[in-house]
Structure 1
């Protein structure tokens, strides 16, 4: 019995350690198998995500269409070709973004800007068709970032009856009747006063001086502006707004876009306070355009809302001074470089002054209408300035044009610079040559070959005012002063026109 117990205890002693090793080995095998399975699952998940991303990227770069899309590239997913669109261009020529793609794909191409699918048109016939089909096949549209800047209820985002109603309202201020009655004399007085003040200084930075002059004039007509600390602050808010207006849309402190949005917020705060004060005073007389807007809001069944009214005032304050100031700044630079054109202008304007009983009398409407060569100079200035690098519309349905299909919901960017600087339309297009407009009929709306003031139903309502202001400024400048460049004058487009180092000139009174 004892040997058997010893043998049993020996077996127990030898089998127990063996079973532990075996158990440990099984655990290791199981753990390795689980690790392998987890690795395989992880790889499968990664491959699935990669496949989904590749599929999404493919769909991004190859958008669906019921017809033939224009050629082009959609760029990097989400970002698209936004970086290339905003790349600086230090010339008056068509931006490299458009120029390179027109050369590669033709005058109609697809792209993606700030996350939206867009068809860009440098084709005059297509541009004209898009403008003429406003409200039928297309409607006014701007990328979301632009809408954030100008307000979701801004006049550019409204359609149909409401847009026509606002346009009629604005024409009370900028229509020809008011121009004849008051604005010609008022713009002439503003130009004379500013030029006289600048001539008393060693030099003037024109890119700062002109916007200030025009803002003081237009803001007085729009909101009863008077030079004061509060109104000066309002102008500074608009300056901040403009610096980042056409910039890469990243709303982070320190960026131009963030500065732009802060400028808008502060300007809107001033306008909102002004509206609240005027709405609380029913006895207030109608003294400026804002008062007319307040009257519309007080109607029993107003068509306006306070949001639309505030966005309207904001857009008018911006549009009425910045665009004209940029065109005039570039215009003076071009005149400085072309003394022959200055001589021709002086001949026309000195003759106007000689025919007056009082040579120092203000410009009249009849005199303005007689400035034939001046009008040609203004046309050439705005053609080369190309203040608006793109005019946006949106397709309301699938549109077949020029052998391509523009899908419903896609944006269309009409590109005025590509038309204005097309050598097939304008001989030597980068040359400043006002005589190219000689013996041509006056343009009172957008055409296939000229759209500096827009086109179709949305032809700029402030066109006549801008022309009058530019003409009266030129009249005072060439009849009373000579000038020379002190420094600056370099331009950059990003894609909007800018003068990074300003444009400083010295004014000298003529004998």
Structure 2
């Protein structure tokens, strides 16, 4: 009798939960398969949908690039999965990406995960606004990135970069962790140029608090949409509130002033004027959300790219020397009291330096991809993508598989010196996305990275103390070890 009770107890304790779990997995698979569009004869893409409700989100969050590489090897250029609570198809390759990016508003629409929309909010141009709203908001922000506006920004960027590199060269200790230092630099630049903050407005402690809040928010942008204490979404919202409070303080200061400081209008000032000019009531929440996204796009991505630049140039000294030779030809490698001042015309002459930046963005694009939602059932590469499914187009994988590039693993900026046919290269190299939703600040990013490269090359030599870095995505690409590096002053000899 006692033995029978033990067996029954064991069955209830172990076997029954296992059977229930297997039944749930089977029902989950049936649900996922049944969501295909029966009116379309094409099959769903290959792939797996993971665990009930969670899908494969946990594997993606924990493994990131390793998970994505495994999926690509196993399923090819298009596969199905289940991420952030939604059935999803991941797409890569120039032709597949072309189909998605050129199908905006006709086949697909922008659709970021619920956690991103919750944290960044409904007022952000890129993730949530549609059609006319997005077009008008983008047109306003583009004025902040015109050539004339960029010319105003050059001395500000140069001032911040030069001061930062001087601190690096004067730092005590055998090494400096590059990634957090670069993030702080890019954050200061974005705060000054995009939001109009002046250096005197933030103490070092206050600035560090904002940087840390941004890091916490970004770490939790892509999380399960569960707002409970200690969840990723909860932590992201708490960090966002710190940022919003500081931005609101700046907005109210702008409203009290009649003319912008510095002689130019930053992106936030232009958004405020656009709203008031259209007779709309100034919506503080929307402005805070727009400013938060500007900061996100204006410093996290450039910090990632600048860190990768230091890594690649540190590993390829011959490329750094070619950059210096180009600077020498342009009169930019003289003694400090004779150096030519940078401006847009001078920067545009630095063709090879521009190619170094392009090659860095090819091998290590800061943003790995973009999110869309299928407005109707699509046919792509012999498969169907049902209406309502999420679509992720991959930037990093598209660069990896592009036929346009030979010796893809090699860091070779010269590959960009020869122009490629527009049709073959347009969607093979997409570090700033493409189509109607391409990055609004891409010209600003290019100018900033050029100035950073110029100042770095003419003032510093450096050594990567851990060799080639291991890169991770979270959600922006960054080095796992923060890139410990030893900097010394450049001797001036090439």
TM > 0.5: yes
Residue pairs, 1:81-480, within 5 angstroms: 81-88=56-63, 95-156=65-126, 157-180=128-151, 182-202=152-172, 203-227=175-199, 228-229=202-203, 230-246=206-222, 258-276=234-252, 278-279=254-255, 281=256, 284-287=258-261, 288-289=265-266, 290-299=268-277, 301-302=279-280, 305-353=283-331, 359-422=338-401, 424-440=403-419, 447-480=426-459
Instruction: Tell me if 1:506 matches 2:486.
Output: yes
Secondary structure at the aligned position of 2:35 is classed as coil
- Whole-Å separation in 1 of the counterparts to 2:22 and 2:394: 38
CA distance in 2, matches of 1:359, 1:131: 47
2:13 equivalent in structure 1: none
Distance across 1 between alignment mates of 2:29 and 2:332: 70
Secondary structure class of the residue paired with 2:487: strand
Aligned to 2:14: none
1:72 corresponds, among 18, 38, 47, to: 47
Measure how far apart 1:106 and its partner are. Answer: 2.8
Query: Judging changes above 3 Å, is the alpha-carbon distance between structure 1 residues 248 and 487 closer, same or farther for their aligned structure 2 residues?
Result: farther
* 2-structure distance, mates of 1:453, 1:303: 33
Q: Distance in 1 between matches of 2:282 and 2:382?
A: 42
- Structure 1 outlier segments of 4+, above 6 Å: 47-53, 355-358, 442-446
Contact 1:109 1:121 in 2 (8 A): yes
Q: C-alpha distance in 2, partners of 1:386/1:184?
A: 24
C-alpha distance in structure 1 between counterparts of 2:355 and 2:332, whole Å: 22
Contact 1:446 1:454 in 2 (8 A): no
Helix, strand or coil at the partner of 1:134: coil
Q: Cα deviation per residue 1:445-477 (whole Å; 9 max; x = unaligned)? A: 982201110100111111111111111111111
Query: Paired residue for 2:16?
Result: none
Is the contact between residue 154 and residue 342 of structure 2 (CA under 8 Å) also seen in structure 1?
yes
Task: Say whether the 8 Å CA contact 1:286–1:292 is kept in structure 2.
Answer: no
TM-score between the two structures when normalised by the length of structure 2: 0.84
Query: 8 Å contact 2:141–2:271 — kept in the other structure?
Result: no
- Once the 2 structures are TM-superposed, how far is the Cα of residue 120 of structure 1 from its aligned partner? 0.8
In 2, Cα distance between equivalents of 1:313 and 1:319: 10
Bigger drift between 135-144 and 67-76 goes to: 67-76
> Would the alpha carbon gap of residues 254 and 502 (structure 1) be closer, same or farther in structure 2, given more than 3 Å must change?
farther
Displacement of 1:252: 5.6
Distance 2:212 2:297 in 1: 15
Cα distance change, pair 217–367 in 1 and its aligned pair in 2 (3 A): same
Check conservation: 1:199, 1:509, Cα contact below 8 A: yes
Contact 1:88 1:494 in 2 (8 A): no
- Aligned to 2:462, which of 483, 495, 503? 483
1:49-60 to structure 2, matched below 5 A, reads 55=27, 57-60=29-32
- Pair member with larger Rg: 1
Scaled by the length of structure 1, what TM-score is found? 0.81
TM superposition shift of 1:341:
0.8
> In structure 2, what is the Cα distance between the partners aligned to 1:155 and 1:183?
23
Task: Report if the CA contact (8 A) 2:25-2:51 is conserved.
Answer: no
Distance 1:200 1:57 in 2: 59
Offset of residue 79 of structure 1: 1.0
